[in-house]
Amino acid sequence: MSLTNQQQILKDRTSLATNIVSRLSDESAQKMNEAIQNGMNPNETADLIEAMFIQHQKKKYSEISEKIKEEIGKGDEANYNHIVEKRGKEFIYKKCVQVDGQMYPIETKVCQSERQCRTWLRLKKIKADFI
């Protein structure tokens, strides 16, 4: 990951991880560097930046969670995708809902063999794609 000059200076002065610093704009990194130069504690700066990222992440997760609940609330009209994946010797069934182009599993079942999986799907009257 390539950091700009301002980002690298901020990373050197604080305990922030590279992936967090790389997400900051040059302008933000410059302002944080100026705050540190003017006497702000580097650890407080790092805590502030991490708190902003965590807050943004929580907001994003809650928005996605609401969209998933909305999609599930549609009942039979919801756009469910049924997928079966093979991992090692196990077959994993996933009932997924698609939100914003991303698949989110809402139900899973692990079967020990393909035959067991196909039998279970037949009994539940589910048509799934084997991947």
Does residue 96 surpass a pLDDT of 70? yes
What whole-number distance in Å separates Cα of residue 52 and Cα of residue 113?
46
Report the percentage of the chain scoring pLDDT > 70.
97
Does residue 38 surpass a pLDDT of 80? yes
- Quick one: angle between helices 5-13 and 26-37, nearest 10? 40
pLDDT value at position 1? 58
Hey, what are 43's tokens? Answer: 């650890």
Segment 91-120 shows an average pLDDT of: 92
Alpha helices by DSSP H, the chain: 5-13, 18-21, 26-37, 42-73, 114-124
What whole-number distance in Å separates Cα of residue 105 and Cα of residue 79?
12
Q: Is the overall model pTM greater than 0.75, yes or no?
A: no
pLDDT digits (tens, 9 = 90+) for 5-34: 888 888 888 888 888 888 888 898 899 899
Would you call 16 helix, strand, or coil by DSSP? coil
Segment 62-85 shows an average pLDDT of: 86
pLDDT averaged over every residue in the chain: 89
Number of other residues whose CB lies within 10 A of the CB of residue 114: 14
